[in-house]
């Protein structure tokens, strides 16, 4: 298993932290794309095969919720697993996100174990226990 992953967050530091967390969790990826908002993410998704998206909710230009709705409206992209990584996490918000097609939710800060478990749950693969 080797993935093409997209990290969407308006903070370059957060994107770097998620990348480092993926590396620590030993998630195998071939390509790691990054976008600063939903519009940049959609442009990347239009040009690249992506297996898994990690996204924040609150971003300028286009937020995560609007991006998720556009992904779900696209016949090709609607099946790409989306993991929201955010500090915002009320139960009602998480329920709303899952109804909008979000596969999983992680609250910042994310541990390598949480990240690894979510990736293996969504994509499959062997976990070393």
Determine the pLDDT at residue 48: 96
CA dist 116 and 49 (Å) reads 21
Determine the pLDDT at residue 18: 94
Cα 27 to Cα 4, 34, 80: the distances in Å are: 11, 16, 17
53-75 average pLDDT score = 94
Residues in the chain: 129
Q: In what order do the strands lie in the sheet with 3-8?
A: 29-35, 3-8, 52-55, 82-86, 104-107
pLDDT tens for each residue of 84-128? 999 877 888 888 888 888 999 998 888 999 999 999 999 876 544
**Extents of the domains making up the chain:** 3-123
DSSP string for residues in 79-99? GS-EEEEES---HHHHHHHHH
* Topology at the third CATH level for domain 3-123: Rossmann fold (3.40.50)
Per-residue pLDDT band at 6 (split at 50, 70, 90): very high
Whether residue 129 has pLDDT greater than 60: no
33-59 average pLDDT score = 96
CA dist 87 and 73 (Å) reads 26
């Amino acid at each position: 298993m080797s993935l093409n992953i997209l990290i969407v967050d308006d903070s370059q530091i957060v994107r770097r932290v998620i990348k480092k967390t993926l590396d620590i969790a030993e998630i195998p990826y071939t390509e790691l794309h990054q976008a600063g908002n939903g519009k940049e993410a959609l442009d990347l998704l239009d040009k690249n095969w992506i297996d898994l998206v990690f996204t924040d909710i609150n971003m300028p230009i286009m937020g995560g919720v609007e991006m998720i709705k556009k992904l779900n409206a696209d016949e090709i992209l609607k099946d790409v697993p989306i993991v929201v990584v955010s500090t915002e996490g009320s139960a009602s918000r998480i329920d709303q996100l899952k109804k909008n097609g979000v596969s999983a939710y992680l609250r910042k800060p994310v541990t390598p174990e949480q990240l690894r478990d979510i990736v293996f749950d969504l994509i499959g693969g062997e976990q070393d226990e």
